[in-house]
Structure 1
């Protein structure tokens, strides 16, 4: 791979990063807070590619036709692998397969903020689970809640509403789970995204993977919803 080819690969990789950072594609890989860094990386790669191409063109004009450039190592073509992966492979967000093989990542919060307005109250999976498991439902004041996540079914058929939470990127994503009881649909499909309305119940179980707390939600109604643009729980570590 000569310098011109390297510049072309860097340019294409930078363009793909800019596209991912400017669209919801990036949210399959990193937290929304990291999108500016992704855009910056793409811009730096494009600037580097343009500078390399300009420099090589000037050097070619100065050196003349008799000078022969030494070939670059063939291993440089491996730069194409991340580019092809980003272009050809757009994996879905982590789902029930990963959730059931990882223990819940629920952690006790330092404090609980005020409940959002609304009836039912819109809560994230992490927010409801922490208020139910560690706050024993006191902060919910008996109000109905609405929670959105994807469905996971264990080997016994028990249903969980799950949202994957991440610190940085999809590689460190961990599930937070809510066990469901009450008025569930007769047919449950793993990985289906659901908007669940229900009430706090003091019932609590423990994750068989790491023995972490998994609170229950007593379901009163269920509505299927499309996969959100950001499939990971946005309240994690906030």
Structure 2
């Protein structure tokens, strides 16, 4: 019994030590990469940033720095790709939005987006303004606040205070419900709206997932598309102006 317990403790300690060492290694790599970036040694900085990326430790600042390097070295598709990944994690970051706007000006395709419906404006302006993890955290925080207000209501002897705690706790319930709804809507939207960036210099968009099918239009590197469907080595995509078609899956990279 004791040996088993000691064995479990040792495994836990080793695991925690491994996580700690990994975090220290990542911090060290990120610090070194930032120094190379400041020195304008972009190739060396990018090499270190990629070492962090392969460890599957996501960070908007990591993607933002990588995007900046690709932008400074005139690599259109990778710069837009990593700006989009950074923006996905930090949707309200104005620096990312500003740089992404400049990067998008380097693309060759001039696509006029369709006007947004009221529902789309609501999604963009409110539901997608924060990511689903943030909405979930807000819901948890409000739930704790509700519990506190309910206790204060229960133990308060003043009629005016009871009324105040009752009203505010009721509002908390409404806000908790709303936050949970927004979190689920956000998660559903993100999971069902797969975005991608064209990485090929030029790619033909076909009417069907075959090489012999009719050519609809052509896209160039850096253009953002929505992936609707997959079939073998083909992806059905939609662009901002509503046009749809099939292209080679290897020509795009999902965000």
Is TM (by shorter chain) over 0.5? no
TM-score by length of structure 1 reads 0.22
Higher strand share: 1
TM-score (normalised: structure 2): 0.21
Instruction: Name the structure, 1 or 2, with higher relative contact order (CA <8 Å, separation 6+).
Output: 1
* Larger fraction in helix: 2
